Structure 1
Amino acid sequence: MLNYRQLHYFWVVAKTGSIVRASEQLNLTAQTISGQITLLEHTYGMDLFRRVGRQLELTEAGRLALPYAEQMFQLGDELEALLRAQPNEQQMLLRIGVADVVPKSIVYRLIAPTMELAEPVRISCREDKLERLLADLAIQRLDLVISDSPMPSHLDIKGFSQKLGECGISFFATQALAQRYGNDFPYSMNGAPLLVPGQETVVRSRLTRWFSELKIQPRIVGEFDDSALMKAFGQSGSGIFIAPSVIAEEVQAQYGVQLIGQTDAVSESFYAISVERKVKHPGIVAITESARRELFTRAD
């Protein structure tokens, strides 16, 4: 059986970078920590660290073990905080996974209604690739996953997708670019410098198909998995960029850019994926109801 104390010593050494710093943090002697890690290595017949000069570096086995240890002790901290809470201070925990392609402004607007519930809710929010989030949803490490696509059919994971809503997309640019390419939209986009979402996003393929149907060929100067980074490049004048029309006013105010066009022919959809067909968690109910009632202009 795995010795969790030994694993904890390994984790602290890996995070601090040395046995000396780990001993200071744990208030233990360096010999104790070194000995316990050696026992852990002997148990599984592999080295977790190698010494390079005066520094310790993780071996391949150590690099594989570290993220698992990270998750285990993070969950342990959450459990301890929950158990230590006084009865009148206890909060419902809502663990949300967010696909990294979903714009942060949309995520905030979706989750914000949970902060207004009569019963306090503590949110744990994690961003990652969709398939990794769905794997954690399957083993109940997450209560909900927010994505720009429903549950993929090729995954052997039990889950149910609720469409929160959809909206068209808007195109934004600095004043200089807007003056040059803002007239006769969308045909003025032919040859225009364009910043686009990464290949993994659903909207990317829809956008490409729309341009092709209109025989428009913008000049793609950058593609981004992170929508916030794409907006930052757009703010600098590197190119025209897109965002869901539902947050158009917010994008203009936050990034100081101008709206040069909008289309409903290309839409972005957002989904809540859970393991329950009929959700019961008040936080998830608040997210789904508020999205359909207030956030999106068109929802199924």
Structure 2
Amino acid sequence: MTLAPESLSDIDADAPTVVSVSDIHGYLSDAKSALELVGEAFDRPLVDADEEGRLHWAGGDEYVLVFLGDTVDRGPSNTETLETVWRLREEAPPGHVVHLLGNHEANVLFPHVYHWEYWYSADPPAEIRKRILEDVAAGRLAVAFEAYGRTYVHAGSNRPFSVAAVNETLRGAGEKLKRGLESGTEGWVDAQEEAYGDAESVVGMGSESVRGADAGLVWMDFQHMAEDAPPQVVGHTKTDRPTRKGAVVNANTIRVNEGTPGGESVTVATESAIEALVRGSDGSVERVSLSE
């Protein structure tokens, strides 16, 4: 598959259930627990684990899984988390696993702009950076995805935007970055400056603070989300429980709850409703309605 789907209409499936997980940040065991909630709550699992604990696709064409960005940094299993995303995408039917850009994936693309030298994303293994750049340039790592009237995006926006346009903006930046990396150190640095300007609406940091109200789609903090913002499912801003503001859902719960029993979650959306599945401290599954 070349391009990531922009909406459910691009996927050959009849009203699949859309599951999203955000901000894994290298905490792969917590993500595994979150993704396994689906099989515990419903008849069909989303993923299965093999004897070595690696996750594999088990959802057939009944599910679409959206990774809402920030798969890496902070936790101990960064490369393994990326490999899990890629494996699930390869095993699932075309378009049924969607990988979206977060600000930490963006640091793989723009290390000389962001100056986050201390993160995995600033200096990943060479083959990892190459794979991510190839995915961006080919449109496999995208900005946004639309399903059941909601736009899935890492941080979000107070204004409507075109999914097709922002995905194409990132893809064009990715092509420029890929050529720059292949040309050597000077070309790589120059390409970052140019591509950042091209894609500032997506990857740009805010003018007064990096997560300010005017920041790009992978940077704006949830505190700046307006009550009348268009329907979205986002991550980026950590929360201990899935929450909503107006028509915008935020379920970035892994980081806050990491290291304590339970709290990790996924969102589950159908044509008629959206809810969160939350891991209880006793290992149980709690279902939390997020519908308006």
Greater share of helix? 1
Give the TM-score normalised by the residue count of structure 1.
0.24
| Max Rg structure | 1
